Amino acid sequence: MAVGACIRGFRSSMRPVIAVDATHLKSKYKGVVFVANAFDGNRNIYPLAFGIGDLETDASWHWFFTKLHEAIGECPNLVIISDRNVSIENVWNKIFPTAQHGICFYHMKGNMKRTCKLKKRDHILMHFEKAAKSYSIAEFDCHFRKIKRKEHVAQYLEEAGLHKWSRAHMDGRRYNVMTTNIAESINSVLRFARMLPVVHLLGEIVNLLVKWFTERRELALNCTTTLCPNFGEKKLRNRLEDAARMNVVKVNNAQYNVLDGDMDGLVDLTNNSCSCRKFQLEQLPCKHVVAVCRFLKVSIYTKASSITLGNLDGCGCLFG
């Protein structure tokens, strides 16, 4: 089941990152419910599709991905995030050959902890989390060198594929979607509905979607901020505060070196890039870009909208 309005909203306005997961039904008929979700511009769960099968097998996931492809079509720069389910790994690229596949770093962390027999407070786990969330290769290498102190852990992570769980190494852009929490949250919301027969379960899902999108439509209509209030606006305001303490040195008409006392950033307005890589990977101005906008004495919103690689329109269009 895929609601047409959700699909149209995803194709026109959403970041092309989909989290997929499956959970068991609790009724006497058993079975598995498959879910595919994205994030809207306000960091809310944006349901895309639901499917019901018998088991989590290659055939079932192939069927679900096929139906998902029929619903959303070819989606440029698509990234699919999942846990390390073997069936997903076996079939996703047969249906979405141009997409990229990433692993939920939380699941990766749990698997690594069990497989490598790490203690709960092992510092390796902290360095793994920081390495996974790093934006630049240099930042990643700094943490991964510390992981390499335990050779068997580093080998496990390398065999899993650095590009699967590391944001810095991924060929595609997963923005800040590092886990499958959005898919698992849907499973949690439906924990009681999953006890119902299938027809009634689908009815509960439809009612849930109507409720959510009614609330979000009202919020969007009453929104007075330039960006989505709970994510883009809040994040950009925090970066405005950080940028106020930075010094900007003009290199030429397009490049500016930003000194922030931590990790300096070289901003190139021609290439719409910053050496910290947050601007490229998040599609939202990083603190270095914000500092350059202050230096140029232009509105951060208008300047950001003109130079960003992504969609920085008002929140209304991002609520679906």
Q: Indicate whether 63 and 192 sit together in one domain.
A: yes
Q: Report the chain (320 residues): mean pLDDT per 10 consecutive residues.
A: 85 90 84 90 88 92 96 92 93 95 94 92 93 94 94 95 94 89 82 87 90 88 81 85 91 92 87 91 90 85 48 34
Q: Indicate whether 216 and 235 sit together in one domain.
A: no
Domain endpoint, select from 204, 222, 240: 222
Q: Indicate whether 218 and 299 sit together in one domain.
A: no
Q: Indicate whether 207 and 238 sit together in one domain.
A: no
Q: Indicate whether 164 and 187 sit together in one domain.
A: no
pLDDT of residue 302: 59
pLDDT of residue 190: 87
pLDDT of residue 319: 33
Q: Indicate whether 8 and 139 sit together in one domain.
A: no
Q: Indicate whether 202 and 83 sit together in one domain.
A: yes
pLDDT of residue 233: 82
pLDDT of residue 189: 86
Q: Indicate whether 72 and 212 sit together in one domain.
A: yes
Domain endpoint, select from 222, 252, 286: 222
Count of domains for the chain: 3
Q: What's the start-to-end Cα distance of the chain, in Å?
A: 17
Q: Indicate whether 286 and 253 sit together in one domain.
A: yes
Q: Domain of residue 263: give its range.
A: 229-318
Q: Indicate whether 60 and 89 sit together in one domain.
A: yes
pLDDT of residue 153: 95
Q: Indicate whether 21 and 67 sit together in one domain.
A: yes
Q: Indicate whether 255 and 158 sit together in one domain.
A: no
